[in-house]
C-alpha cells in the first residue's frame, strides 16, 4: 500500500468524507494491504456502534412479475423464460407468521413492479401485518411508485423502503436501463421516501456493466450526501437470459472494499452482507460482516417459489426452508464472533419504534442489543 493510499484511508476514518476524485483514487490504487486496513477500521467502527450484533431481516419475495425491463435483471419483462409467480396477501401474511415464530422482527417484502399490488392491496397487507405483529418493522422493496402511493403505504404502517439508486451517473444509468426508465424519477422516488419519514435505503451493484472507478466514486459521494439509513450493495452477477449475459460478474474483493469505505463514511448505516455476495464467494456474507456490514437477510419465501425469484444465476438459499436458512446464517454469524439480533433494529436516530410505543433494546448502543434468535423448536417470547 502506498503512503498516499494509507493517508486517504486514515483521513476517511477521521473525517467520514473524501472529495469524489479521492474516492476514485482510493478505488483505483487499492491493494490487499489497503483492503485489510480498511476492513479492520470498518469492523472496529461497526463494533463501536452496534457491538457484536448483526441484524437479521426476514426476506419475503412477494412476486417475480415485473413491468420493468432493466437490462441486468433476470425477472425483466422481456425474459419470456422466467417463471412467474405472485404470492397472495394470505400467503405473505403466512410467511410473516412463520417468520415471527422463528424470531424475526423485521420483514422485508420485496418484489418486481407487479401491477397486482395496487395501493389498496399493498396497504391492506402492510396494515394486517402490523396488526398481527405490532412489534415488527415492515420494509418495502417494490420499486418506483408515486409520492401519493409511498405516502399511503407509510400511513398504512410501512417503516422502511429499499430502492437502490443503481448508479449515481445519469449516463451510466441509461446504459443499464431501457429508455422508458429515468434516472430523475429514481432520484425523485428516493427524495420522496426520505421526506415521508421512511428509513430509506439506496445502493448499487458492484461491477455492473460499463461501471468505472469514477462511477463508483460518484456512488460513494451520492451515498455520503444522501445519508441513507440503509445501503444495499452486492456484486453484479450475470443472468443467462438477459442482454448482459456475457458481461463479467463483479468481484467479492471490490464489494468488500466498498462495504468498508461505506462503513467509515456512515458509521451508523444499516449495511447488509447480501445474498449476491454470498453467491460469488462461498463465505461471502461472513467476509461482508468482517468488512463492516451489520445486516443479513435470510430467505422466508415459500420454498416452491424461491428458484423463480431469480434476479441472477446461481442464487444461493433457494432450497432451504426458512428455519434452515435462519439456522445456517446464525451459525455463519457466530463463526465470525457475532450474534444475530432479533429486535427491530432501527437505524440509530430513527424514532418510529418509540412513536409506536415499542421499546427497542437495539437502539441502546454499545453492546446492549439483546437476545439471540431462539434455537429451532423454541418460540421467541
Ligand atoms: N446481479 C446482481 N444484483 C442484481 N439486481 C438485479 N439484477 C441483478 C443482477 N443480475 C439487484 C438490483 C436491484 C436489486 C433488487 O437486485 O440492484 O435493485
Ligand atoms: Fe440461507 Fe444458508 S443462509 S441457506
237 lines ligand 1 (CB under 6 A): yes
Q: Tell me whether residue 365 is in a domain.
A: no
- To the nearest whole number, what is the mean pLDDT of the chain? 92
- The answer as to whether 372 is a domain residue is no
Q: Which ligand is closest to the CA of 162, given by its number?
A: 1
Q: Give the pLDDT of residue 360.
A: 36
Average pLDDT over residues 238-261: 98
Summarised one tens digit per residue, pLDDT across range 352-362 is: 444 433 333 33
Query: What is the pLDDT averaged over residues 60-74?
Result: 98
* pLDDT tens readout for residues 166-196: 999 999 999 999 999 999 999 999 999 999 9
Q: Is 285 in the pocket of ligand 1 (CB under 6 A)?
A: no
The rounded Cα 56 to chain-centroid distance in angstroms is: 11
2 CA distance to ligand 1 middle (Å): 34
Segment of 42-56, 317-331, 341-355 carrying the highest mean pLDDT: 42-56
Among 142, 312, 314, residue to substitute to test ligand 1 (most atoms within 8 Å of Cβ): 312
194 lies in some domain: yes
Give domain status of residue 103, yes or no. yes
User: Could you tell me if residue 342 is inside a domain?
Assistant: yes
Tell whether 363 is covered by a domain.
no
Q: What domain range includes position 276?
A: 16-358
What is the number of structural domains in the chain? 1
Residue 181: inside a domain: yes
Q: What is the CATH number of the domain that holds 259?
A: 3.20.20.70
Across the range 143-164, mean pLDDT stands at 98
Establish if 165 belongs to a structural domain. Answer: yes
Report pLDDT for 371: 44
Higher pLDDT, 350 or 245: 245
Amino acid at each position: 500500500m502506498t503512503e498516499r493510499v494509507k493517508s486517504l484511508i486514515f483521513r476517511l476514518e477521521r473525517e467520514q468524507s473524501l472529495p469524489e476524485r479521492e474516492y476514485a483514487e482510493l478505488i483505483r490504487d487499492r491493494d490487499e494491504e489497503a483492503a485489510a486496513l480498511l476492513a479492520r477500521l470498518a469492523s472496529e467502527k461497526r463494533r463501536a456502534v452496534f457491538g457484536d450484533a448483526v441484524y437479521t431481516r426476514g426476506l419475503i419475495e412477494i412476486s417475480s412479475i415485473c413491468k420493468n425491463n432493466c437490462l441486468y435483471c433476470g425477472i425483466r419483462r422481456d425474459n419470456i423464460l422466467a417463471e412467474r409467480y405472485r404470492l397472495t396477501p394470505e400467503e405473505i401474511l403466512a410467511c410473516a407468521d412463520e417468520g415471527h415464530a422463528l424470531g424475526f422482527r423485521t420483514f422485508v417484502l420485496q418484489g418486481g413492479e407487479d401491477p397486482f399490488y395496487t395501493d389498496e392491496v399493498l396497504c391492506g397487507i402492510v396494515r394486517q401485518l402490523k396488526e398481527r405483529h405490532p412489534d415488527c418493522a415492515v420494509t418495502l422493496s417494490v420499486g418506483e411508485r408515486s409520492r401519493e402511493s409511498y405516502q399511503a403505504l407509510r400511513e398504512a404502517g410501512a417503516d422502511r423502503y429499499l430502492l437502490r439508486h443503481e448508479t449515481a451517473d445519469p449516463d451510466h444509468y441509461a446504459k443499464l436501463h431501457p429508455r422508458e426508465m429515468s434516472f430523475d424519477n429514481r432520484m425523485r422516488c428516493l427524495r420522496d421516501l426520505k421526506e415521508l419519514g421512511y428509513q430509506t435505503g439506496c445502493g448499487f451493484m458492484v461491477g455492473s456493466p460499463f461501471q468505472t472507478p469514477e462511477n463508483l466514486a460518484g456512488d460513494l459521494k451520492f451515498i455520503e450526501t444522501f445519508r441513507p439509513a440503509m445501503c444495499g450493495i452486492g456484486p453484479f452477477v450475470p443472468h443467462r437470459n438477459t442482454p448482459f449475459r456475457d458481461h463479467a460478474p463483479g468481484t467479492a474483493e471490490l464489494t468488500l472494499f466498498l462495504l468498508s469505505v461505506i462503513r467509515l463514511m456512515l458509521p451508523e448505516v444499516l449495511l447488509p452482507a447480501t445474498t449476491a455476495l454470498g453467491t460469488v464467494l462461498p463465505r461471502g456474507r461472513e467476509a461482508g460482516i468482517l468488512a463492516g456490514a451489520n445486516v443479513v437477510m435470510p430467505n422466508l419465501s415459500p420454498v416452491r417459489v424461491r428458484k423463480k425469484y431469480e434476479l441472477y444465476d446461481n442464487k444461493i438459499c433457494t432450497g432451504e426452508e426458512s428455519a434452515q436458512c435462519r439456522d445456517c446464517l446464525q451459525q455463519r454469524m457466530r463463526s465470525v464472533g457475532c450474534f444475530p439480533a432479533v429486535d427491530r433494529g432501527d437505524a440509530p436516530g430513527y424514532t418510529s419504534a418509540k412513536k409506536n410505543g415499542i421499546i427497542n433494546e437495539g437502539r441502546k448502543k454499545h453492546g446492549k442489543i439483546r437476545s439471540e434468535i431462539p434455537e429451532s423448536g423454541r418460540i421467541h417470547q
